[in-house]
Amino acid sequence: MFTKAKRLRTTAAAVFSLTLILAGCSPGSKAPDNAVSNADSGNAGKLKPYEIKMAFFTTTSQTQGITEVEKAVNEITKKKLNATVKFVPISFGSYAQQLNLMGASNEKLDLLVSGVGGTYSTQVAQGRLLALDDLLAKYGGDITKTLDPAFIQAAKVNGKLYGITSNRDLAADRSLLMRKDLIDKYKIDLSKLTSYKDLDSVFQTIKDKEPGITPLVLYTSSTTPADQFVNSDFDILGDRIGVIDYANKDLKVLNLFETPQYADYLNTARAWYDKGYILKDAATSKDNGSDLVKAGRAFSYFITSKPGNVTQTARTTGYEMVEYKISKPVSNTSHITRFMWSIANSSQDPARTMMLLNLMYSDKDLINLLSWGIEGRDYVKKSDNVIDYPQGVDAKSVPYGLNQGWLFGDQFKSYVFNGDPEDIYKQTDQFNKEALKSPVLGFTFDSSPVKTEVAAVTNVMNQYRAGLETGTLDPKAALPDFIGKLKSAGIDKIIAEKQKQIDEWTKTK
């Protein structure tokens, strides 16, 4: 469908613009030599106007202020890139499905958040993402100045780059976030907990004394209790179809779903479900945990955590929160590839799209618009680098309440919200450096040799995982069926291919 563009060497404006369009038609094709390579060079007028369609997810209902943010962003991009940006915000629970629909219909899309839900290697194998190596070299100077080269390299598949991580927490621990007012009200002593299995007493207290509040909900539809435990103990290698146990050093790829640990996680989730701690429709609900807490309907949810997470969550929920950590921080490839920025193969101007992405790592005004919204409406400055809600505005009423500064380019160049330590980004950088590093950090599985099996196994996982990992399904009956169908779909072949690639990657590391 797509053909390689020939490199046209002419200064004629019409031919130059056509070359930019053609350059985007082939994944990995090089941008023309005479393109504007610096957004601040003052040469934006030499480019024809272009609309950059930008898709990202949201995890809150506080999105009514996005339109005004989009207008303010366009004031910057018109001046620097002669381009406008069209936001495509999609609820997290529907994000992967909507992207699939857009890709299947070849709908025009330029910039997107890739990798959500461990889909990065699949998106690469499907050919929906452009190779970025040449584009990054020509138009991504501020990106390469910002990111550790190891974090860029970690997103390569078969030697080619298809996604660029934001500069954020690139390690993670897992935590349960709980409403502090209820912890204090019932004098719950978290210091007595020795593991997540001791949480029964906490959940039972809330169930008994706050009948209108669900003890445990899901932060998003994919952050099931069992999956949080999985990520504490295993490197999921992008898709959970073959994993590495952090406790073992032999780099043996395991079938996660056959491990005794996974069965134990499911038994815990099932016990919580049976006791009424988890919503009965947890496997199918699209409600975000932060919205349920904000509405006074939920007590807690598990989350991937980082420095400053407690105060940041309080801004989203409107409640002061406390944290119980269930794991130590680790860093693996999935932490990098789960939320990245990629250029869609349907982009008609990948060079201009890369220029926009580069601005997200250099232009503080753009970064803060995307992170915090409109000054005076969504926030006010308390000092040069610290902001807070305007008078009369809070987490429940702020028009632009995405609270996703970690997603948009270089978070470390954004303002610090009041209540967070002023050195929060220094803490985050240290958190990244001190985290346990996976023995296969930088490995990304190329699923193309087994793409048929991956599709079949993914379908089986979609049928069972949510039900099993929320406790909705009884693992005694459903887990053996799940494993049997995975084997029929070809999971053993995928694991063998993944093991082969890890062995080869280890030799050339």
Distances in Å between the Cα of 87 and the Cα atoms of 51, 123, 361 are 10, 21, 18
Residue-wise pLDDT for 252-268, tens only, equals 999 999 999 999 999 99
43 or 191, higher pLDDT: 191
For residue 6, what is the DSSP state?
P
pLDDT at 19 over 50: no
The contacts of residue 445 (CB under 8 Å, 6+ apart) are 121, 157, 237, 238, 239, 242, 498, 501
Whether residue 34 is predicted with pLDDT greater than 50 in this model: the reply is no
- Using DSSP's 3-state secondary structure scheme, residue 382 falls into coil
Give dist(CA 74, CA 507) in Å, integer: 47
* Parallel, antiparallel or unpaired: strands 436-437 and 330-331: parallel
CB contact at 8 A, 110 and 349: yes
Question: Residue 52 pLDDT more than 80?
Answer: yes
Residues 16-42: what's their mean pLDDT?
38
Give the per-residue pLDDT at 20: 33
472-494 in b/e form (b: 16+ CB < 10 A) is bbebeebbeebbebbbebbbebb
The C-alpha atoms of residue 423 and residue 429 are separated, in whole angstroms, by: 10
Token pair for 328: 């130590």
Contact 355, 140 (CB under 8 A): no
The whole-number average pLDDT for the span 202-215 is 96
Instruction: Provide the percentage of residues in the chain whose pLDDT is more than 90.
Output: 69
What pLDDT, on the 0 to 100 scale, is given for residue 37? Answer: 41
pLDDT at 44 > cutoff 80: no
97 compared with 360, residue with greater pLDDT: 360
In this predicted model, which residue has the larger pLDDT, 448 or 203? 203
pLDDT at 30 over 60: no
Please, which pLDDT band fits residue 31 given cuts at 50, 70 and 90? very low
Q: What is the mean pLDDT of residues 159-175?
A: 93
Q: Is the pLDDT of residue 448 over 50?
A: yes
Whole-number pLDDT of residue 75: 98
Question: Comparing C-alpha atoms, which of 238, 435, 460 is closest to residue 334?
Answer: 238
User: Is 178 a residue whose pLDDT tops 60?
Assistant: yes
Find the range with the poorest average confidence among 7-11, 244-248, 249-253, 406-410: 7-11
Q: What is the pLDDT of residue 43?
A: 66
Size of the chain, expressed as the number of residues it contains: 509
- β-strand 321-325 against 173-179: which pairing, if any? antiparallel
Is residue 409 over pLDDT 60?
yes
pLDDT surpassing 80 at residue 18: no
More confident residue, 276 or 286: 276
Which of the pair, 166 or 117, is modelled with greater confidence? 166
Mean pLDDT, all residues of the chain = 89
Predicted confidence band at 334 (pLDDT cuts at 50, 70, 90)?
confident
pTM above 0.75, yes or no: no
Per-residue pLDDT tens for 371-396? 999 999 999 999 999 999 999 999 88
User: Which domains are seen in the chain, by residue range?
Assistant: 28-170+332-442 (3.40.190.10), 173-331 (3.40.190.10)
For 43, other C-beta atoms within 10 Å of its C-beta total 13
